[in-house]
Structure 1
């Protein structure tokens, strides 16, 4: 797209175009030999993370040159006084990707506004303007409809565990009430949040601090909220600076059941 055509897009379309640009890079480099960049503590990025973020930044800088951008790999760019900030996770699920698993997501979110999550391998792009949420596949847009019908709950088991020992996600999976009602899944990518919004998962649970400003979680949270999911911290409180972790459930009953187990 030309600079003029990108500048003419609304924020939702910009988020979608940026996420799809990153997904194209992730897809193209899949299965090849990947240069790794050590981040310490066992974490690393690959050349796919770096190049996908560059592709996303190209779209955002062209379409919204006055906005700031916080990217996982390149840090914050743009004027310090910028009124708006984009949050970019170019490859959520790097560990999966590096070993040949296709369970990854490309996340782009305008803080407090539009967001998009692209699945490079299914061809699905989930997006929201902050009011409604849809998924695009093969040029067709369909509203996202959360449902708990699958009874599948994704749980993030990656450290750190700031709420331990009071809350540990792994303990939730051993509760008889959980096993009677749900089936656990661990995909190790925030693509699972888009799946809650789309009705592919009943819920998603993770520990952590305030995730609303996280490059990993912001886009998925925006999707779930716009789709009508129940989204709170692991203590049931509204998300925000004082919240811990995240419970995103397809409906109030699923959220109530999970909260009762977590609180116990």
Structure 2
């Protein structure tokens, strides 16, 4: 029996989430990667579990793993993007705000529109947000519910983690002190891309981050979910994703998106 790509993404994300859940709270070995950045034994073991699922079903597919790097040819028509534990610092501090992200890019297009299956698992809420590239759902207890974006919460998640390629002209942190932002929205800083999935699910009105996110293991699944759910998804200046200034603005509706672009535009030079 051939497993559909979206079901395989679900299975892989759930396998990783099970490891993350089981190892939570344990004293974990840390592996330093760069200044202020590290992986834990849970990251490593969760990625192994995810890759075991993918490779058993799709042995010829290429993979990019957050911890294990790239395998398979660079020009592969099918590449899995795997982030086994998004929110490692949260997790290491015994904060449960983390995600397990799995996405499949098919074809040579790496702008993000080539993501045809993706899943984002919350290891502690027993939820998996997933898409087949056309529609977006959340699975709880084996039951799927269609995702419905909503701006009603007015909660906007802002990513404050580096890098900041548009700095010093633009810093997401300055949105938090912008009077226009304060009057209209309420900031949140979850520090995991689970918050991107929450925009698709109607639990956040929007999400903003700087950065170059092309083929990102962190963001590919969440972006695919938001697109399939009908969110407005662009770069920082409202341009097609992964072009121009880069970054990401994903909003539940056009009105919220327009308001955020105006606030962001207050920082960015007009000639960019």
TM-score normalized by the length of structure 2: 0.92
1:114 counterpart SS class: strand
TM-score normalized by the length of structure 1: 0.95
Q: Which moved more, 1:94-103 or 1:171-180?
A: 171-180
Given the alignment of the two structures, is residue 27 of structure 1 paired with residue 21 of structure 2, yes or no? yes
Q: Matches of 2:227 and 2:246 in 1, distance apart?
A: 17
Contact kept? 2:81, 2:217, Cα under 8 Å: yes
Give CA deviations for 1:173-218 in whole Å, capped at 9, x if unaligned.
1111111111000010000000000000000000012x14100000
Select 1:248's aligned residue among 247, 250, 254.
Answer: 250
Q: Matches of 1:97 and 1:103 in 2, distance apart?
A: 7
Select 1:181's aligned residue among 163, 181, 184.
Answer: 184
Q: Matches of 2:189 and 2:74 in 1, distance apart?
A: 38
User: Given the superposition, is the C-alpha separation of residues 212 and 81 from structure 1 closer, same or farther in structure 2, using an over 3 Å criterion?
Assistant: closer
Given the alignment of the two structures, is residue 160 of structure 1 paired with residue 154 of structure 2, yes or no? no
Contact kept? 1:66, 1:79, Cα under 8 Å: no
Give the unaligned 5+ runs of structure 2: 106-113, 267-272
Q: Matches of 1:144 and 1:243 in 2, distance apart?
A: 29
Contact kept? 1:66, 1:82, Cα under 8 Å: no
Q: Indicate the residue corresponding to 1:125 in structure 2.
A: 128
Q: Indicate the residue corresponding to 1:63 in structure 2.
A: 57
Given the alignment of the two structures, is residue 52 of structure 1 paired with residue 54 of structure 2, yes or no? no
Given the alignment of the two structures, is residue 97 of structure 1 paired with residue 100 of structure 2, yes or no? no
Q: Indicate the residue corresponding to 2:196 in structure 1.
A: 193
User: Given the superposition, is the C-alpha separation of residues 14 and 77 from structure 1 closer, same or farther in structure 2, using an over 3 Å criterion?
Assistant: same
Select 2:81's aligned residue among 87, 90, 110.
Answer: 87
Given the alignment of the two structures, is residue 258 of structure 1 paired with residue 252 of structure 2, yes or no? no
Q: Matches of 2:237 and 2:12 in 1, distance apart?
A: 34
Q: Matches of 1:87 and 1:178 in 2, distance apart?
A: 33
| Structure 1 segment 33-44 matched on structure 2, within 5 A | 33-44=27-38
Q: What number of residue pairs does the alignment pair up?
A: 257
Q: Matches of 1:35 and 1:252 in 2, distance apart?
A: 44
Given the alignment of the two structures, is residue 18 of structure 1 paired with residue 18 of structure 2, yes or no? no
Q: Which moved more, 1:46-55 or 1:76-85?
A: 76-85
* Structure 1 residue ranges, 4+ long, deviating more than 6 angstroms after superposition: none
Q: Which moved more, 1:171-180 or 1:13-22?
A: 171-180
Q: Matches of 1:81 and 1:208 in 2, distance apart?
A: 24
Q: Indicate the residue corresponding to 2:111 in structure 1.
A: none
User: Given the superposition, is the C-alpha separation of residues 35 and 175 from structure 1 closer, same or farther in structure 2, using an over 3 Å criterion?
Assistant: same
Give the unaligned 5+ runs of structure 1: none
Given the alignment of the two structures, is residue 143 of structure 1 paired with residue 146 of structure 2, yes or no? yes
Q: Shift of residue 240 of structure 1?
A: 2.5
Q: Shift of residue 79 of structure 1?
A: 4.2
Q: Indicate the residue corresponding to 2:109 in structure 1.
A: none
Contact kept? 1:212, 1:221, Cα under 8 Å: no
1:103 counterpart SS class: coil
Q: Shift of residue 82 of structure 1?
A: 3.0
Give CA deviations for 1:89-145 in whole Å, capped at 9, x if unaligned.
000000000000000000000012100000000001000000000000111100000
| Structure 1 segment 205-220 matched on structure 2, within 5 A | 205-209=208-212, 211-220=213-222
